Structure 1
Amino acid sequence: MIDGADVMTEGSRIAAVVLAAGASTRMGTAKQLLQIDGRPLVQQVLDNVQRSVVGEIILVLGHSAEAIQQELKLEGAKVVLNENFLQGMGSSLKSGLAAIDSKVQAALIILADQPFVRPETLDQLIAEHERTRAQIVIPTYRGFRGNPVLLDRSVFPEVMGLSGDIGCRAIFGEHQDGIVKLEVGDVGILLDIDQRKDYENLRNSKSRGEREKNLLQSPDVETRTTAESGEAPPQRPELVIVGKDFMALTLARLSRLLGFTITVADPLMNLSEMPEADRVLHTLNFSLLAASHDRHVVVASRGACDEEAIEQALDVKSTYVALVANKKRGEEVLRSLRRKGVSQEALTQVKVPAGLEIGAGGPEEVALSILAEIVANRRKHLSALCNAAKGA
């Protein structure tokens, strides 16, 4: 431990562990010290936590720890040095939780690159834990999971046993009965500064405020008009993509060429950002979409809402449901859904990993393999329907 307060603030037995030890390799500089509204990024995170009812703050530093600490006003926060920060987030979780006062009942796990989470949101999570005594409280915005997550002390040992570059999400599958999801009206739980473009988009308070206003006013389903698309709305197969990474965008482009209607499920995207899309689902609720007997769903959320999206897809009787993930992650997701009560019969419909085995070597080829599997699955399904109609 480098520095810190010895006494926990009275009035709350909840701690906050702020994870700020990373090397910021994607950013190319110490992300923790990037300026947001005239303050270092991690200072804004600390200020938000200090305005909540949190009783103890643990700041975990690693890369450039001394330089970062010199720029901060700690205001009683403890600073813990994680010398093993290169081993990943698991080592920072262990260092932070180990430093928590023995009287603490639960801890918020706060990411240092999320400076826009409101103090009121932290207080809501704490109040929900006090009301339900849940093992894990997860905030959601329009049905999409966000951060920070609140952990009850009962799961600290399990989290401290994690290793590698994985977060506390790794234990969620084992605690389905102990998880409470709390819907909040704070888009900040989804906004992180992971890359330079994120920083440039969010650093200006005026443009950030306008963007948040637009997000709050956006409809649950944003649909391109017939005039915009330049074509009539025929009955076409529908592809729903949950996620917006490069593979997802490539899949949308390829599917458009084959005449699919494209729906992208994402709370932050708008139609102007993705000309291939016919609509954007801003709320993770597939029942908001028009009924379809020819719907194909690809979940590429990188863990952000894998389970929720698959469950939604199965609930609306999608023809094809696939998860973009490696086999180990896929097994974890299916196990988690099984514990939630999803039937084995339904889970056998989920393709994990997504796509035909073609030895895909990059996002473009992964997208191609997924679309090939969708086409093959669709042809098989249509043939079965045709044969059934002939036999009727």
Structure 2
Amino acid sequence: MTQRDTSLLDAIVLAAGRGVRFGGGKLTAALDGAPLVAGALRTAFLSPARRVFVAVGPDQAVRKAVEATATRLAASDRLVLVAVDDPSAGMGVSLATAARSVPDDTAGVFVFLGDMPRIDPATPRHLARMLADPSDIVAPTHLGRRGHPVLFGAEWMPVLVALSGDEGARAIIDQAGARLIRVPVEDPGVHLDVDRPGDLARVETNG
């Protein structure tokens, strides 16, 4: 079995959530002098993805932060904003909406969460090297626990575009069986997310 063509990989960043537990404005909260979402975007743009599809809701501040980050990284030509009309419908809806924008010739798609700013850019590159078949799902593990991002081989695209509700892709991963490839990484960032304001300090400590 040979490695897939990583030049045909794409990435999705989920940035449409309202951040209810944070109290609103989560993805534009300041971290390291930039919006929180900039961390996930940076890793996505540094990954072996030809384009980065960012699912955004009606919040114009998030849209502007995403566009400004892409400009700062000289990656505007690789950014595709995907509008999610009703983010309250759940993460599954946001992911499905973004997945429908990914080209049919994709070899696979990374799924990043916009509130996870500390993933080492080396991690998605490592995942890409481990994608050997279009039926694979490749996920990083740190200290034995699965984290993010997750790389879905092309055969999973019809499943992703059919998602609904707030479950996201977790159920798909849990049921993948032998098709799930777990890749140990020395990257605590695969577990670090921001749900509440107090989490920002924890993430800054692990910066």
User: For the superposition of Structure 1 and Structure 2, which TM-score range results when normalised by the shorter chain?
Assistant: 0.7 to 0.9
Q: Which runs of 4+ in 1 moved over 6 A?
A: none
Gaps of 5+ in 1: 1-9, 210-392
Report the Cα offset of residue 150 of structure 1: 0.8
Q: Distance between the aligned counterparts of 1:151 and 1:14, measured in 2?
A: 10
Report the Cα offset of residue 50 of structure 1: 1.5
Superposition pairs for residues 106-121 of structure 1, below 5 Å?
106-121=108-123
Q: Distance between the aligned counterparts of 1:123 and 1:11, measured in 2?
A: 9
Superposition pairs for residues 151-190 of structure 1, below 5 Å?
151-190=152-191
Q: Which residue of 2 aligns with 1:39?
A: 34
**Are the counterparts in 2 of residues 16 and 108 from structure 1 also a CA contact under 8 Å?**
yes
| 2:30 is equivalent to residue 20 of structure 1 | no
Q: Distance between the aligned counterparts of 2:163 and 2:133, measured in 1?
A: 26
- One-letter identity of the residue aligned with 2:154: R
Report the Cα offset of residue 73 of structure 1: 3.0
**Are the counterparts in 2 of residues 82 and 95 from structure 1 also a CA contact under 8 Å?**
yes
Secondary structure in 2 matching 1:151:
strand
Q: Distance between the aligned counterparts of 1:97 and 1:11, measured in 2?
A: 18
Q: Distance between the aligned counterparts of 1:51 and 1:12, measured in 2?
A: 13
Question: Residues 35-82 of structure 1, C-alpha deviation per residue, up to 9 Å, x if partnerless?
Answer: 111111112211222122221100000141x22222333322100000
TM-score by length of 1: 0.48
Q: Which residue of 1 aligns with 2:62?
A: 68
Secondary structure in 1 matching 2:192:
coil
Q: Which residue of 1 aligns with 2:82?
A: 80
Question: Residues 324-382 of structure 1, C-alpha deviation per residue, up to 9 Å, x if partnerless?
Answer: xxxxxxxxxxxxxxxxxxxxxxxxxxxxxxxxxxxxxxxxxxxxxxxxxxxxxxxxxxx
Q: Distance between the aligned counterparts of 1:53 and 1:175, measured in 2?
A: 24
- One-letter identity of the residue aligned with 2:155: S
Larger fraction in helix? 1
Q: Distance between the aligned counterparts of 1:26 and 1:179, measured in 2?
A: 31
Q: Which residue of 1 aligns with 2:149?
A: 148
Gaps of 5+ in 2: 71-75
Change (3 A) 1:106 1:199: same
Q: Distance between the aligned counterparts of 1:180 and 1:11, measured in 2?
A: 17
Q: Which one has a bigger Cα radius of gyration?
A: 1
**Are the counterparts in 2 of residues 23 and 63 from structure 1 also a CA contact under 8 Å?**
no
Change (3 A) 1:153 1:52: same
- Of the three residues 100, 103, 107, the one matched with 2:102 is 100
Change (3 A) 1:157 1:81: same
Change (3 A) 1:200 1:63: farther
Report the Cα offset of residue 193 of structure 1: 0.6
Q: Percent identity?
A: 30
**Are the counterparts in 2 of residues 134 and 180 from structure 1 also a CA contact under 8 Å?**
no
Question: Residues 234-286 of structure 1, C-alpha deviation per residue, up to 9 Å, x if partnerless?
Answer: xxxxxxxxxxxxxxxxxxxxxxxxxxxxxxxxxxxxxxxxxxxxxxxxxxxxx
Q: Which residue of 1 aligns with 2:52?
A: 57
Q: CA RMSD in A?
A: 1.7
Q: Which residue of 2 aligns with 1:191?
A: 192
Superposition pairs for residues 1-20 of structure 1, below 5 Å?
12-20=7-15
Larger relative contact order (CA 8 Å, sep ≥ 6) = 2
Report the Cα offset of residue 198 of structure 1: 0.6
Change (3 A) 1:144 1:48: same
